[in-house]
């Protein structure tokens, strides 16, 4: 039986804890003054005990090892100053880089490289973490070096523990020292459990063997429970005052939670699906509105989409939190929430890629690595899977005699994209269809793995790897991005550390997508060029899949940002385009703002929303068969839209005949026709694919949301 022969093992822990921690061992200020032996034991027992909340049996099994949360090397909860090493090859490979899932910069010799690497190749090397408080250590997670230039990982290692960083004890296996199994490749994280959970303040990872062609390099996470005084106020102060279900939800649990929100708030919610994943999981959307299920004249529609990359799990949980929050606060009469729900139709899609999420969830937040579950089941990256309309637009502008005459909005999807054999994921097809069914005005696409807000264009011109590629709405996009970034508690903290290798603080934590790295076929660009909806991307946290214990703090980090961003849908101008005689709304009228080379269209009832910064605008509205109309509309600083209605006069049939007779051309709305035709084709091919898949006995998983 393996055993750590240490200072403090689980049962005799109390005695040893009290005796071992003399004032020289730990910062006495950080030790709870009234820490009693029994209190310490209780805390340790509670920390090491079985998962208290009910879940599946399989989950309990999986969670057992991870009962103690990560100290936070990955989440940056552990500060650089808490990590030391025996030696380092250079500062870019220093101990502060020895964090699970840290990503390296591109250049060889980068200041921000992809691991801690020891200077020497011998068995005396170590990476040390100071937990600051006495901590019940339960395990270590090890990963190799992230690099495109070299392969380095540690194959076996020892673990040492200490209370003072002077005297060290090695984990023992009987009379010999325990040898932990490390990595076999650079990326897969491997969990090493201590034979016996042990209390100490410092922990060292001491490599014994490594990949023969490489150096001693590693990234790590440490699992441990802080032994805090239960009487300590911070222990009882929840990280969030909102009573929400803070944990990671599997597909079934997500459905259950959504159903419970709907039952709690039946008058303002509706659940609907927009399609299925490759494996047949339904893509559920939660709608919030005072009239769920209908578009209301003049009321703007908003969407949050999360989980397009299945392993970027925080966005999914934040949207599940947001659902619960909106429902509870509405019932309480929170005026801000009541106003939002009354004046906006809100759509929340928490999991665009549920197949990918399930793959990551299976491994868990610490062991999923950096890429497991990112792609859909077929291996498609959904954020490169939308039609590239940018190059269609740019090519047309280049070929045209007058580039300003080229339609700058509602660009149809290309013909090839509608074919049955086109590489278009079912999840992408579902979202494209959804984008056309609902006249969205504003949205955000929630990702993770960095801390920055990016805005279109994501795709650069002429295939440049990175280049600032602004849209015609660049200033408003920058406003939108700033709204989110400046209200996010971590993004807006000037003292925060960079996540991996890029410093976005010099850009105020916002960046044009193309200026970061080019992404052809992104959802943001497609949304902007194909629909009226302005959408940007939020990279929510350094850690793609934060441990459940981080979720309350992450909700607090993002709560205000999620709400204030949503409120931006009520900016700029809005109005209704009507027929002068019948007073009927005119659908698909083009709204042109002078000086903005991006038009938008009115929705089915003739209502439109044009998001704009404060200023004075000349607006021209045109619809097929009508004389155009012009108005000046002023947008103020206050956070509500200016009403700017239009009434159009039909061109009389007699007049049209005269124009034709003179050989004149009546403007045609070809664009709209082609756009609708291609969409019909895409829907038809999607249907055919679904039928074929059903025949192939690929049974859909997951039941229905009914009852």
- Catalytic site residues? 539
CB of 90 to Zn ion, least distance (A): 30
Least CB distance to Zn ion at residue 539 (A): 7
Binding test (CB under 5 A) with Zn ion, winner from 84, 447, 488, 578: 447
When the beta carbons of 67 and 312 are compared against Zn ion, the nearer one is 312
**CB 472, min distance to Zn ion, A:** 26
In the complex, minimum distance from the CB of residue 105 to Zn ion, in angstroms, rounded to a whole number = 19
Among the listed residues 435, 444, 434, 438, the one whose alpha carbon sits nearest the alpha carbon of residue 296: 438
- Distance from C-alpha of 98 to C-alpha of 372, rounded to nearest angstrom: 20
Sign of CA dihedral 503, 508, 510, 511: negative
Contact letters for Zn ion, residues 47-66 (x by CB under 5 A) = --------------------
User: Shortest Cβ distance from residue 642 to Zn ion (Å)?
Assistant: 36
SS3 readout for 379-406? CCCHHHCCCCCHHHHHHHHHHCCCHHHC
Name the one range near Zn ion by CB under 5 A: 136-144, 232-240, 259-267, 443-451: 443-451
Burial 415-426 (b: 16+ CB within 10 A, else e): eebbeeebebbb
- Give the nearer residue to Zn ion in terms of CB position, either 178 or 351: 351
- Between residues 312 and 355, which has the closer beta carbon with respect to Zn ion? 312
Binding segment toward Zn ion, per CB under 5 A, in 20-28, 311-319, 503-511, 626-634: 311-319
β 269-276/534-539 pair status: unpaired
- Which has the closest alpha carbon to 167: 4, 3, 7? 7
Residue carrying the six token digits 């084709």: 681
Peptide bond into 226 cis (omega under 30): no
Burial group, residue 697, by CB count within 10 angstroms (0-12, 13-18, 19+): exposed
Q: Least Å distance between CB 512 and Zn ion?
A: 17
Q: By beta-carbon distance, which residue lies closest to Zn ion?
A: 447
Nearest to 486 by CA among 573, 545, 542, 568: 568
**3-class secondary structure, 529:** helix
* Shortest spacing between CB 367 and Zn ion, in angstroms: 19
Q: How many residues bind Zn ion (CB under 5 A)?
A: 3
| Sole residue written with tokens 């076999």 | 184
CA distance 698 to 703: 15
Output the smallest distance, CB 312 to Zn ion, in A. Answer: 5
Binding mask 514-553 for Zn ion (x = CB under 5 A): ----------------------------------------
* Closer residue to Zn ion in complex, CB, 99/447: 447
Task: Find all residues with CB under 8 Å of 575, minimum gap 6, and list them.
Answer: 607, 608, 643, 644, 645, 646
Is 309 a binding residue for Zn ion by CB under 5 A? The answer is: yes
Helix (H, G, I), strand (E, B), or coil: what is residue 523?
Answer: helix
Report the C-alpha gap between 598 and 511 in whole angstroms.
21
Q: Which is nearer to Zn ion, 103 or 183 (CB)?
A: 103
Beta pairing class for 600-601 and 573-579: unpaired
Cα separation values, 704 from 248, 255, 284, Å: 21, 9, 11
- What is the phi/psi pair of residue 42, to 5°? -60, -45
For residue 311, the minimal CB distance to Zn ion (Å) is 8
Residue 353 tokens read as 């890629």
Between 312 and 599, name the residue whose CB sits nearer to Zn ion.
312
Question: Nearest to residue 127, comparing CAs of 39, 12, 219, 262?
Answer: 219
- Specify the pairing of strand 269-276 against strand 282-288: antiparallel
Residue 347 touching Zn ion (CB under 5 A): no
CB of 306 to Zn ion, least distance (A): 10
Handedness of CA 557, 559, 560, 562 (dihedral sign): positive
Q: Which CB atom, from 309 or from 347, has the smaller least distance to Zn ion?
A: 309
Residue closer to Zn ion by CB (options 155, 312) is: 312
Residue nearer to Zn ion on the CB measure, 517 or 631: 517
Pairing of strands 301-306, 345-349: parallel
Site residues (CB under 5 A) for Zn ion, limited to 209-238? none
Nearest to residue 561, comparing CAs of 482, 632, 636? 482
Nearer residue to Zn ion within complex by CB, 447 or 570: 447
The span of 74-82, 255-263, 282-290, 302-310 binding Zn ion (CB under 5 A) equals 302-310
| Of 271-279, 399-407, 445-453, 652-660: span binding Zn ion (CB under 5 A) | 445-453
Nearest distance, CB of residue 453 and Zn ion, angstroms: 13
- Would you say 249 or 447 has its CB closer to Zn ion? 447
Stretch of 196-204, 303-311, 330-338, 521-529 contacting Zn ion, by CB under 5 A: 303-311
Take residue 539 and report the two structure tokens written for it: 């990279």
Minimum distance, C-beta of residue 248 to Zn ion, in the bound complex (Å)? 17
**Piece of 206-214, 294-302, 405-413, 446-454 that binds Zn ion (CB under 5 A):** 446-454
Cβ atoms of 386 and 432 within 8 Å: the answer is yes
DSSP 8-state code for residue 548: G
In 3D, which of 172, 680, 648, 377 has the Cα closest to residue 688? 680
Which lies closer to Zn ion via its Cβ, residue 192 or residue 443?
Answer: 443
- The torsion angles phi and psi of 191, rounded to 5 degrees, stand at -90, 130
Residues across the chain: 707
Q: Which stretch binds Zn ion (CB under 5 A): 85-93, 267-275, 309-317, 682-690?
A: 309-317
Residue closer to Zn ion (CB basis): 204 or 447: 447
Q: Where does 452-582 have alpha helices with state H? A: 474-487, 513-516, 523-530, 551-567
Tell me the three state secondary structure of residue 140. Answer: strand
Q: Which range of residues in 246-254, 310-318, 403-411, 460-468 is near Zn ion by CB under 5 A?
A: 310-318
Judged by CB under 5 A, the stretch of 126-134, 164-172, 442-450, 474-482 that binds Zn ion is 442-450
Q: How far is the CB of 477 from Zn ion (least distance, A)?
A: 19
Cα–Cα distance, 316 to 448 (Å, whole number): 10
CA–CA gap between residue 161 and residue 8 (Å, rounded): 10
- Residues 564 and 479 sit within 8 Å (Cβ to Cβ): no
If you compute the radius of gyration of the chain from its CA atoms, what whole number of angstroms results?
29
Q: Provide the binding-site residues for Zn ion, judged by CB under 5 A.
A: 309, 312, 447
């Amino acid at each position: 039986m393996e055993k750590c022969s240490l200072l403090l093992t689980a049962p005799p822990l109390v005695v040893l804890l009290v005796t071992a921690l003399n004032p020289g061992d730990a910062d006495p200020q950080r030790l709870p003054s009234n820490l009693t032996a029994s209190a310490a034991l209780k805390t340790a027992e509670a920390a090491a005990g079985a998962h208290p909340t009910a879940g599946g049996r399989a989950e309990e099994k999986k969670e057992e090892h991870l009962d103690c949360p990560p100290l936070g090397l990955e989440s940056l909860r552990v500060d650089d100053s808490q990590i030391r090493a025996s030696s380092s090859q250079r500062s870019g490979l220093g101990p502060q880089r020895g964090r699970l899932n840290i990503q390296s910069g591109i250049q060889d010799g980068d200041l921000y490289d992809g691991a801690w690497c020891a200077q020497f190749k011998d068995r005396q090397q170590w990476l040390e973490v100071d937990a600051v408080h006495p901590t019940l250590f339960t395990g270590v997670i090890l990963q190799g070096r992230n690099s495109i230039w070299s392969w380095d990982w540690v194959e076996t290692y020892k673990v040492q523990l200490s209370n003072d960083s002077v005297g060290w004890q090695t984990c023992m296996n009987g009379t010999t020292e325990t040898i932990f199994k490390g990595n076999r490749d650079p990326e897969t994280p491997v969990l090493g459990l201590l034979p016996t959970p042990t209390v100490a303040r410092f922990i060292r990872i001491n490599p014994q063997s490594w990949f023969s062609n490489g150096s001693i390099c590693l990234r790590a996470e440490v699992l441990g429970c802080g032994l805090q005084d239960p009487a300590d106020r911070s222990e009882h102060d929840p990280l969030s005052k909102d009573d929400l279900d803070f944990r990671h939800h599997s597909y079934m649990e997500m459905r259950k939670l959504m159903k419970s929100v709907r039952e709690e708030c039946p008058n303002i919610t509706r659940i609907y699906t927009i399609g299925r994943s490759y494996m047949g999981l339904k893509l559920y959307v939660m709608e919030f509105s005072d009239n769920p299920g209908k578009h209301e004249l003049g009321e703007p529609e908003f969407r949050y989409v999360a989980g397009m990359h299945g392993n970027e799990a925080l966005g999914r949980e934040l949207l599940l939190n947001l659902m619960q929050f909106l429902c509870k606060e509405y019932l309480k009469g929170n005026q801000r929430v009541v106003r939002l729900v009354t004046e906006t139709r809100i759509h929340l899609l928490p999991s665009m890629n549920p197949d990918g999420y399930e793959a990551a969830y299976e491994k868990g937040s610490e062991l999923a690595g950096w890429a497991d579950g990112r792609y859909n089941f077929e291996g498609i990256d959904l954020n490169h899977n939308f039609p590239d309309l940018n190059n269609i637009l740019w090519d047309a502008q280049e070929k045209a005699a007058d580039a300003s005459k080229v339609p700058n909005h509602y660009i149809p999807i290309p013909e090839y994209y509608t074919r049955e054999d086109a590489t278009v994921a079912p999840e992408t097809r579902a979202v494209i269809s959804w984008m056309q069914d609902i006249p969205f005005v504003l949205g955000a696409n929630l990702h993770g793995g960095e801390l920055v807000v990016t805005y279109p264009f994501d795709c650069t011109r002429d295939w440049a790897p990175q280049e600032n590629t602004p849209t015609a709405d660049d200033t408003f996009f920058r406003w939108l991005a700033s709204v989110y970034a400046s209200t996010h508690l971590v993004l807006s903290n000037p003292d925060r550390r960079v996540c991996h290798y890029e410093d976005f603080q010099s850009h105020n934590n916002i960046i044009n997508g193309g200026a970061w790295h080019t992404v052809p076929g992104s959802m943001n660009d497609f949304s902007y060029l194909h629909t009226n909806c302005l959408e940007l991307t939020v990279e929510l946290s350094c850690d793609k899949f934060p441990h459940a214990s981080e979720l309350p703090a992450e909700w607090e980090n993002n709560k205000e940002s999620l709400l204030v961003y949503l409120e931006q849908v009520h900016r700029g101008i809005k109005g209704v385009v009507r027929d002068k005689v019948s007073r009927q709304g005119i659908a698909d009228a083009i709204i042109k703002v002078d000086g903005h080379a991006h038009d938008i269209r009115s929705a089915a009832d003739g209502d439109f929303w044009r998001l704009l910064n404060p200023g004075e605008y000349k607006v021209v509205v045109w619809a097929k068969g009508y004389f155009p109309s012009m108005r000046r509309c002023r947008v103020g600083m206050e956070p509500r839209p200016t009403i700017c209605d239009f009434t159009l006069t039909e061109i009389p049939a007699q007049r049209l005949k005269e124009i034709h007779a003179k050989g004149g051309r009546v403007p045609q709305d070809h664009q709209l026709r082609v756009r609708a035709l291609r969409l019909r084709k895409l829907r038809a091919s999607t249907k055919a694919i679904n039928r074929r898949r059903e025949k192939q006995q690929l049974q859909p998983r997951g039941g229905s949301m009914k009852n």
